[in-house]
Amino acid sequence: MIDMQSIRKIYRTQHVETHALTNFTVKIDAGEFVSVMGPSGSGKTTLLNIAGLLDTFEQGSYVFDGEDVSKLTDREMSRIRNRRIGFIFQSFNLIPDLNAFDNIDVPLRYRGMGAADRRKAIDQALDVVGMSARAKHYPAQLSGGQQQRVAVARALVGSPSLILADEPTGNLDTAMANEILDLLEQINEMDTTVVMVTHEPDLAARARRRLHLLDGRLIDIEMDDRPTPLVAAAGTTAPVRM
């Protein structure tokens, strides 16, 4: 699913160069649930942005689902994001002018689906996250947990093969956080790959593989002992300690 080799990402301002990712290599297979941990500035979000084709990199290679990302045009990358990747953000990032239904509708609009198909898919996604009763509510009328449920519905409405979640529980209380995690696990059980950035070890522990980042490098990979049928030699391609 994700195959990054020696990725280097540098943010430059007039005076400072920040190495967000250095010689970063990781491979995540289809169906995995991977959490990414590390202190602020360790490159977690950069990793997610590059994985989600939202950001470019200076060096290395990234093959997403068999396609060399560096050779794709903006239009092709947008198409992949639209059809094969779902994003969940810490601050939900719902569009305030649109109600829950219309927020979930956004990716389907860019896909050019017909109205009946869109309605069906949205109703289904709302049902999965338990928000059917609040389809017409605007973000401002929803609690944080409810907004994140809508955001999860928006991420999964297009049946993506990869969900990228950037601290999806960062703004939620523990109960809500666990509910969202339950949802992510549920999605993962449907063979969707989930990569989740989190600061919270308890939540990270629910992933089968945990990547630890520091200063833009992958410093550790933890595996739990549960069987991971789709993961073949996970971590063997990653430098474990650098």
Residues that bind other proteins (CB under 8 A): 45, 49, 52, 54-55, 74-75, 78-79, 81-83, 87, 89-91, 93, 95, 97-98, 106-107, 109-112, 154, 158, 166
CA dihedral angle for residue 120, residue 132, residue 146, residue 175, rounded to 10 degrees: -110
Min dist CB 49 to other proteins, Å, is: 4
Residue 95 or residue 190: which is nearer to other proteins going by CB? 95
Task: Specify whether the CB–CB gap between 218 and 23 falls below 8 A.
Answer: no
Min dist CB 69 to other proteins, Å, is: 14
Min dist CB 24 to other proteins, Å, is: 16
- Facing residues of 170 across strands? none
- In 3D space, the residue among 166, 228, 174 whose CA is nearest the CA of residue 36 turns out to be 166
**C-alpha span between 84 and 192 (Å, rounded):** 10
Q: Please give the DSSP secondary-structure letter assigned to residue 207.
A: S
Min dist CB 222 to other proteins, Å, is: 25
3-state class of 24 per DSSP? Answer: strand
Residue 75 or residue 241: which is nearer to other proteins going by CB? 75
Residue 157 or residue 231: which is nearer to other proteins going by CB? 157
Min dist CB 167 to other proteins, Å, is: 9
Collect all residues with Cβ–Cβ distance below 8 Å to 202 and sequence separation of at least 6. Answer: none
Q: Please give the DSSP secondary-structure letter assigned to residue 93.
A: -
Residue 38 or residue 52: which is nearer to other proteins going by CB? 52
Residue 74 or residue 225: which is nearer to other proteins going by CB? 74
Residue 56 or residue 174: which is nearer to other proteins going by CB? 56
Q: In terms of DSSP bridges, do strands 209-214 and 33-37 run parallel, antiparallel, or are they unpaired?
A: parallel
Q: Please give the DSSP secondary-structure letter assigned to residue 123.
A: H
Min dist CB 27 to other proteins, Å, is: 22
**Phi, psi (5° rounding) for residue 59?**
-145, 160
